[in-house]
Chain A
């Protein structure tokens, strides 16, 4: 064993074909999701990736409004790709929790659950009589994750907030892009997703604590605050040196070189974080003497403002005469960092990502073959896995109401009649594929 090559060892340890033979980290953990759009659903999604049983409660009929956010209006088998991406491995049920019987169903579900995630405006659940103060009486071990734009007790708590609100107000946008150009929102919902990641970190920490003590708790996470946390040295630079960080285009201000460069056939990220890597880069450029140039010979000389600009010009000229593949090959030979700017098509055909289960091809029982990004971290003993994608509103009503909650046919019908529970409206985004026929 000891003589086995390291990468043969790791290939075996993490082998994607063994994933379904291994246990799941979140097995037996039940999550109630009362969320719409992105911030909340992504939170529950990241738990579902590792085996938590996520029950997503939507308003009967229309459901989560994210169902109708679709790129260029494109729906696939009546489902939006944008909705699919943050709703994997979930059970979808329809309850109107604002109605008294709906609130009662929620309380019954909470009694048998470990975690609740919601992203209503602060105080909404409390107003409906199903806030943390009531639900912890039902289940003292409950971990209640409250997601919002500004926080539960912020003075701005009543203001609506979307992802880009957090990008704008945190300073994230102001330090991205090119000096003198209009600020841009980033092309992804980075505030929502970063906030969701912090929510998950809070939940998993609270779950660990609960295993030791039996105690639940409430966790309050805001999108904007999450992005502020991730702006590295911005705040120290401001408060210690009085410098208001400006956007610096495609160059890192703290490491040189670390930049995006234009090649003959596309763009590439290139970096050399130490002298050894920088010497490798100079050799790759056929300019080994540049590593001894006093402007560039040490880390601290390279990162100085003027020298960094001079170096960037030299690198840009060099890259413009190369292909992306040329540079990536040189990076492997000479030991510096380089990776091309990739897109979805590149990922779709990337052997490395497929072998790691990062690009995951699987069959959904309702929609057939799907290709999605797999679980983030790769765990050797309790790996995450992709089972299914989002479903129509209320698609799993029967499983949850009959099996978990033990309601009878008569009770279910009565609740349906009162519109306390329900399924999808006949509407693209909410309903099953046209050729779908119920098996029951």
Chain B
């Protein structure tokens, strides 16, 4: 047994990957310069947040009056000058202003882009090219440049050239996500029995995460080839990748995935059930686990009931409905915690497939944030930000042994880093910056 094996896996992994030692370790992307030109969209901000958490130097370029995305906030609330959406994704970035529609501004942008590794933009496809600072022009100055364009319809294809604006909701709608989400339509039209959007900005988050994925692929390719490239990301297509067997099932059997609420086409029980004081997820879909669950609810004979005796029988619509009722007759006698404890107690005596009875309390955000584990693991962090004060928000996702991510600061006001960045990269002093300010360039 090697030395490191004296520790349990649990202790070893906490000690070697936990966020507590992050600042003592190197950052994976610390040699990269990123220019983020996101405009009126959260996707580019999410994309550059990922790179910034991993150590890239990200320069956020906003128009002199600030990115309109700073206003995207529930009921319009602003913390100082900035909405909560932007505040969540301003992390670790230097914030400068630049009017790229002004010829002087474009010149400044080009000299930054010449030495940048990555440019991220979310304008209407073709807008940057029209200003002569698109991929076509920038690659002539910097052949190592990775240029990421993020949008709903992408930068090529019949819909791209029609210049219909994209949006977060368009990403969700076009992807098919909304089609399969929500309660089935009842006999009468209702407000809620409709295709339903996902509550969060998943359309933008998916677009941004896939943007970072494309950029990192391109970066690895650049290490081999020395060449940059164009990374074109359609937010709608990103979510499509996650709509499981939607498309191939249609190809194979001609059937379209429907909206089923808590029922499921392929596995059951795999549902949320009502308890005395709330809801929990409950799944036990293989035969062995299902038998365990029937034992838990005190009806072991149901495992042999013809309606439920096989994987296949349990997934007919009728039988799913019947089973849901049976489960809730049991669960509504207990609190959520009692149901989950009862399941844990029984599966701890089982092994293998019979133990696959899986739960998960449906938590409100105010309950989620009380999970101590998530504080320990750095999922939630309280940070004393020099510009925006004490704030609590979501931290980076990865626990990594060599190059852990960091959350260094939350956000900066519009143009807060103009002096530092313009001086460091372009040698522009205070007087020059003042002049450019008067001319409306920065």
Contacts and interface: CB of A to CB of B under 8 A. Distances in A.
Given A219-B399, A232-B42, A328-B164, A189 B169 contact: no
A400 B290 CA distance: 37
B400 A339 contact: no
A233 B315 contact: no
Contact of B191 (A211, A249, A345, A372): A249
Given A25-B220, A239-B369, A371 B363 contact: no
A81 B248 contact: yes
A225 B220 contact: no
Nearest to A253: B74
Interface in A33-62: 38, 46, 50
Interface string B344-386: 1001000001011111111111111101111011011000000
A215 B25 CA distance: 13
Given A13-B230, A352-B159, A168 B216 contact: no
Interface string A202-237: 101111110110011111111001101111111111
A159 B361 CA distance: 13
Contacts, number: 610
A260 B255 CA distance: 24
Interface residues of B, number: 189
B311 interface: yes
A96 B200 CA distance: 41
Contacts of B246: 343-344, 347
Interface stretch (B58-66, B175-183, B422-430): B175-183
B178 A341 contact: yes
Interface string B137-172: 000000000000000111111111111111111101
B75 A126 contact: no
B229 A379 contact: yes
Contacts of B402: 206, 209, 215-217
Nearest to A389: B248
Q: Which of A70, A328, A331 is the most central at the interface, judged by chain B CB atoms within 10 Å of its CB? A: A70
B84 interface: yes
A430 B67 CA distance: 53
A235 B249 contact: no
B29 to A, nearest CB: 6
Given A205-B28, A226-B397, A303-B76, A176 B196 contact: yes
A344 B213 contact: no
B194 A260 contact: yes
Contacts of A14: 155-156, 230, 232
Given A166-B360, A201-B209, A235-B392, 20 more contacts: A122-B13, A152-B9, A164-B360, A176-B196, A177-B183, A189-B242, A201-B213, A204-B216, A208-B29, A209-B28, A228-B394, A229-B394, A236-B393, A237-B74, A254-B73, A260-B169, A347-B247, A378-B214, A379-B230, A389-B248
A84 B248 contact: yes
In the A-B complex, the 9 residue pairs with the closest CB atoms: A377-B214, A165-B360, A187-B180, A269-B173, A337-B167, A233-B84, A204-B216, A175-B199, A381-B229
Question: Which applies to chain A's interface (DSSP): helix, strand, loop or mixed?
Answer: mixed
Given A10-B160, A269-B197, A23 B363 contact: no
Interface stretch (A97-105, A282-290, A355-363, A411-419): A355-363
B170 A338 contact: yes
Contacts of A154: 373, 376-377
Nearest to A331: B164
B29 A205 contact: yes
A275 B298 CA distance: 60
27 contacts: A10-B230, A74-B255, A81-B249, A127-B9, A133-B5, A164-B270, A165-B360, A168-B362, A183-B272, A185-B272, A186-B181, A198-B209, A219-B401, A229-B395, A235-B392, A236-B79, A249-B192, A250-B197, A267-B178, A269-B197, A271-B169, A277-B165, A337-B166, A344-B256, A346-B176, A347-B247, A379-B218
